[in-house]
Amino acid sequence: MIEFADVHVRLGPRDVLHGVSARLPERRVGVVGANGSGKSTLARLINGLALPTSGTVTVLGLNTRRDAAKIRRGVGFLFTDPDAQIVMPTVAEDVAFSLRRKGLTREEVARRVEAVLTRYGLDGHADHPAHHLSGGQKQLLALCSVMVLEPEILVMDEPTTLLDLRHSRQVAALLRDLPQQVLVVTHDLPLLADFDRVLVLDQGRVVADGAPGEAIGHYRKIMS
Ligand SMILES: Nc1ncnc2c1ncn2[C@@H]1O[C@H](COP(=O)(O)OP(=O)(O)OP(=O)(O)O)[C@@H](O)[C@H]1O
């Protein structure tokens, strides 16, 4: 469960979010809006990467202002730019790095790394230098590094931006099947077609909130 209560965010001279309130118990929530409307900021509030200037963000029953470290253990966050998330030289080492604090045996780490790389189609790349992957493969690697931790909530900021049609479909299928709650910020409107709820942001305010057809229809109208 994610809840925003009268959240304002001011960054430098800009009011980026103005009084956002929403209780989000749904499993799959999409966020759309124009460039600069505050979507990434909203996503970053969920794991305490951004903090509200006023108002409250509650995630997994905890306040992000007080318990960001605990919340981050339960919230997987996928950034738009996968290079920001790749920290180790090879693909397998990068995924294994995510598991370093789990106290697992070397064999168990290897087993989990192999399983997640196979699941997302990177098993042939385990020993490749991570920075030599294509943009889309890097996005899949970042996804593997997050999913291997089995987060309770997954937040994705434009997860299909660099992906070809096959891999976009793979991410769409993943989102359909994942048992955990997922919040996805995206410009990829078809990705949200079967989501439970879509929020539309405009200049830092939620201007539509509902079923995908209705909310995306509103978004198309304000962008026309
Ligand atoms: N650290 C910061 N300092 C000052 N302004 C910022 C900062 N981060 C974001 N902003 C501003 O806040 C506004 C909202 O940014 P945000 O990245 O949340 O928008 P967005 O809807 O995700 O945009 P896009 O679709 O282009 O990714 C933008 O005008 C941006 O310039």
**pLDDT tens, 132-159?**
998 888 988 999 999 999 999 999 999 8
Q: Whose CA is nearest to atom 2 of ligand 1?
A: 11
- The pLDDT-based confidence of 160 (bands split at 50, 70, 90) is confident
The rounded distance, in Å, linking the Cα atoms of 141 and 138 is: 5
The rounded distance, in Å, linking the Cα atoms of 40 and 72 is: 16
Cα(40) to centroid(ligand 1), Å: 7
Residue 219 predicted with pLDDT over 90: yes
Strand ordering across the sheet containing 75-78? 75-78, 153-157, 181-185, 28-33, 197-202, 205-210
- The pLDDT-based confidence of 47 (bands split at 50, 70, 90) is very high
Q: What is the pLDDT of residues 90-128, one digit of tens each?
A: 999 999 999 988 889 999 999 999 999 998 889 899 999
Measured from the Cα of 43, ligand 1's closest atom is 18
pLDDT of res. 36:
94
Asked whether 122 and 140 are in contact (CB, 8 A), the reply is yes
pLDDT of res. 35:
94
DSSP of 62-127, one letter per residue? EEHHHHHHHHHHHEEEE-SSGGGT--SSBHHHHHHHHTGGG---HHHHHHHHHHHHHHTT-GGGTT
The rounded distance, in Å, linking the Cα atoms of 22 and 4 is: 5
Measured from the Cα of 201, ligand 1's closest atom is 21
Q: Which residues line ligand 1 (CB under 6 A)?
A: 11-12, 14, 16, 33, 35-41
Cα(79) to centroid(ligand 1), Å: 14
Q: Which CATH architecture has domain 2-223?
A: 3-Layer(aba) Sandwich (3.40)
ipTM: 0.94
* Domain spans of the chain, in order of start: 2-223
How far is the CA of 213 from the CAs of 94, 95, 185, 195, in angstroms? 38, 37, 16, 10
The rounded distance, in Å, linking the Cα atoms of 136 and 81 is: 10
What DSSP state is assigned to residue 133? S
Residue 177 predicted with pLDDT over 90: no
Amino acid at 165: L
List, in order, residues 6 or more apart from 3 with CB less than 8 Å away. Answer: 22, 23, 24, 56, 57, 58, 59
Q: What is the pLDDT of residues 189-210, one digit of tens each?
A: 999 999 999 999 999 999 999 9
62: exposed, middle or buried (Cβ count in 10 Å: 0-12, 13-18, 19+): middle
